[in-house]
Amino acid sequence: MKTRGAVALGCVLPLIAGGLLLAQTQDSDPLLRAMKDELERSRKLSLAGLDAPYFFEYRVEDTNSFNAAATLGALLSTDSRRSRLPMVRVRVGDYTFDNSNHIFSDASSGSRYDSGSLPIEDDYLAFRHAFWLATDRTYKAAEDAIARKRSSLKNISLPEQVPDFSKAPAVQAILPMKRDPLPAAAWSDRVVKLSAIFRDYPQVLSSSVDLEVSESTNYLVNSEGTVERTPEDLAYIRVRASGLAPDGVAVRDADSIQAFHAGDLPSEADLGRRVTEVAKDVAALTQAPVGEAYDGPMLFEARAAAQLFGQLLGDNLKVTRKPVADAGRSAPHVASEFENRVGSRVLPEFLTVIDDATLTQWHGETLLGHYEYDLEGVAPKPLTLIDKGVLRTYLLTRTPAFKGFDSSNGHARMTGSFGARGAGFGNLTIQSSETEPSSELKKKLIEMCQQRNKPYGILIRKLDYPSSASIEELRRLAAGASQSGGGHLVVLPLLVYKVYPDGREELVRGVQFRGVSTKSLKDIVATSQETYVLNMIDSNAPFALMGAGSYVASASVVAPAVLFDELEIEPIQEDVPKPPIVPPPALTSSAGNSLVASAAVR
């Protein structure tokens, strides 16, 4: 009989062999060896009269990337790049109280001697020198931050005492790296061909197709004993297009297709169909009437529902801690709508929400929210966030958010702020115990509208998430929502249809949600059997804005179609620029080249 912790002799040899292989791999990788050696030397750092460091973390993103952009069959740009970006963290004090969670925790004053990048050649001594300079700068900044934090706390009192950092078990994960040359020329040609599809749609005034392929190796070494080298590859194609309606209002549509590896992206024919769909949507929107104010039953098809859950649930399950600030000074912090609501009903009881980053597929479809370890070296486990409508927990990092939620559950996926990582979801699945065919949901929508004497219902087929809007457009929408009393800003619906009693659908444009928030989710009355897998690139930018954010992570949302008992939309009220005075030039050689000014647009 074996006691707990005993190891059979047959298991000893594989363990010894594995340990020897790990040691050999680390010794053969000069970057990993430099990180370990310099961190071990840095642990001896101390300055008389100052707080001693208790935690060090060295992280490197070693990336080889290629991107290409094209419009209307012409290449706009290409770029191949190799980079190694180091990120050094030093915590002084202890796990209970340290230099993080203050408005100046990320501030760094004085001279900076490190360049912020590492050599792309494997030079052990150059790596050591770069980490030494970065550690020196970060240590000084940490000492300054903890002093400022103590000063701020002399004049304020915190509502509850929560530790600044939590412990986590050490991880040893050195995974093999396989790197193939990126087929830059082939992918450039494909992007050009895809962008040429928009030539057949004169209603589309502006369009682009962008490709990025990134092969990254993530290195992580910390003073608790974690040593990681893991692949983090990602490839994506973004399609964007816009046009003008007769009244001068801009309309747009977009699509994003991503995979872990470029070879796993859809075929050229499938990509062509996705681009054509965007072109047709924009062409149809330019001819669609402006939508009216509406308050009543609303049906979200599965794709739109996944987008809605991704924003409303995904964003609000990422709780953050309010940083310490000086007395009388406001701290930049946006509270989650779910804050302090654990144990409360936030969804109908037939809905359960689970984040399971260990999943790689959903009914045969690849999930991009799968990952082995988060940015802090913590492995995720299946996590029930909302159980039968009741909120149970949040997406947590090693920075405790609230009392009682003081340890990580493996969801540090963003760079974060105030000395902490930001939370993010992996594979967010919305599961229903009461489902019916999607066709039945549309019938229910019509029945509900007839019972309430409404001439039509509203069907949402697609939302702007991740968003293709400009930052300026988001600012205008936020200002407009605030002035109209709409409150919380939700992503725009891109494809909105009136559904009449006979089942006929009419596309409308120019509307936004009003008064929609996480509280609205309790008004879901029915869900479909069919689900949609939304693979996306999440970021810390609003609405996961395409091309924005200081850090991105692949994620997935799986959801059924949902029928709401009542939601509200309203026309977007904003000034619009005057449309072009003359029509565009011909995009085909057979068309005429005359430029005739139209009095209707003057």
Average pLDDT in the chain:
89
512 with 421, same domain: the answer is yes
CA angle, 545 as apex, 539 and 550 as ends, to 5°? 40
Domain that holds residue 500: 294-571
Nearest to 233 by CA among 213, 250, 203: 213
**Inside any domain, residue 577:** no
Q: Domain of 168: which CATH number? A: 3.30.2290.10
Give the E-state strand segments of 199-264 in sequence order.
204-222, 227-231, 234-244, 250-259
Q: Express each pLDDT in 121-166 by its tens digit.
A: 999 999 999 999 999 999 999 999 999 999 999 888 777 789 999 9
State in Å, rounded, how far the first CA of the chain is from the last one. Answer: 92
The dihedral over CA atoms of 22, 27, 30, 36, expressed in degrees to the nearest 10, equals 70
- Per-residue pLDDT at 548 exceeds 90: no
Q: Taking residues 298-310, report their average pLDDT.
A: 98
In the predicted structure, residue 459 carries a pLDDT above the cut 50 = yes
236 and 372 housed in the same domain? no
Instruction: Tell me the chain's radius of gyration from C-alpha atoms.
Output: 27
Q: Considering the domain boundaries, does residue 3 fall inside one?
A: no
Are 257 and 303 part of one and the same domain?
no
- The DSSP bridge partners found for residue 247 are none
Average pLDDT over residues 491-511: 97
Give the distance, in angstroms, between the CA of residue 558 and the centroid of all CA atoms in the same chain. Answer: 15
Tell me what pLDDT residue 44 has.
Answer: 81
Shared-domain flag, residues 306 and 270: no
Question: Is residue 579 included in any domain, yes or no?
Answer: no
The confidence score (pLDDT) of residue 484 equals 53
Q: Which residues pair with 257 in a beta bridge?
A: 237
Domain limit, last residue, from 228, 262, 287: 287
Q: Which of 219, 252, 287 is the last residue of a domain?
A: 287
Determine the average pLDDT of the residues in 383-403.
96
403, 533, 410, 547: which is closest to 470 by C-alpha? 547
For position 24, what pLDDT does the model report? 53
- Quick: pLDDT tens for 222-254: 999 999 999 999 999 999 999 999 988 999 999
d(CA 69, CA 210) in angstroms, rounded, equals 4
In a domain, 44, yes or no: yes
At 418-451, the pLDDT tens digits run 999 999 999 999 999 999 999 999 999 999 999 9
Residues 237 and 373 in one domain: no
What pLDDT does 9 receive? 36
More confident position, 13 or 369: 369
Residue 486 has pLDDT above 80, yes or no: no
Answer yes or no: do 168 and 251 share one domain: yes
Tokens representing 225 are 């004993």
Do 215 and 305 belong to one domain? no
CA nearest neighbour of 494 among 336, 239, 315, 285:
285
Torsion of CA 50, 51, 57, 63, to 10 degrees: -40
Together in a domain, 404 and 537: yes
Question: Mind listing the pLDDT tens digit for each residue in 95-124?
Answer: 999 999 999 998 877 677 788 899 999 999
Q: From 237, 255, 287, give the residue that closes a domain.
A: 287
- Are residue 482 and residue 346 in the same domain, yes or no? yes
- The reply to whether 600 falls in a domain is no
Q: Does a structural domain hold residue 578? A: no
473: burial class by Cβ within 10 Å (0-12, 13-18, 19+)?
middle
Let me know if residue 8 belongs to a domain: no
Q: Are 76 and 69 in contact (CB under 8 A)?
A: yes
pLDDT of residue 595 exceeding 70, the answer is no
CA distances from 188 to 73, 82, 194, 237, 239 (A): 11, 18, 10, 12, 15
Contact criterion met (CB below 8 Å) for 78 and 92: no
Mean pLDDT of 397-423: 93
On whether both 122 and 262 belong to a single domain, the answer is yes
Q: What local confidence, expressed as pLDDT, does residue 26 receive?
A: 58
pLDDT tens across 46-80, in order?
A: 777 788 999 999 999 999 999 999 999 999 999 99
Q: Could you tell me the CA-to-CA distances from 349 to 3, 325, 438 in Å, in that order?
A: 44, 40, 20
Q: Which amino acid is at 470?
A: S
- Looking at the structure of the chain, the number of domains it has is 2
Statement: residue 585 has pLDDT above 50: yes
DSSP string, 332-391: -----TTTT-TTSB-S-TTEEEEE-TT--EETTEE-TT--SS-TTSPPP--EEEEETTEE
Upper half-sphere CA count for residue 369 (Cβ side, 13 Å) = 33
pLDDT of 415 > 80? The answer is yes
Q: Residue 601 above 50 pLDDT?
A: no
Whether 173 maps to a domain, the answer reads yes
Is the same domain home to 282 and 303? no
Residue 255 pairs with which residues in a beta bridge? Answer: 239
- DSSP secondary structure letters along 152-166: HHTS---SS---S--
Does residue 336 sit in the same domain as residue 408?
Answer: yes
Taking 70 as the threshold, does the pLDDT of residue 23 lie above it?
no
In angstroms, rounded to a whole number, what is the distance separating the alpha carbons of residues 314 and 412?
Answer: 13
Q: What is the pLDDT of residues 312-338, one digit of tens each?
A: 999 999 998 889 988 877 777 888 999
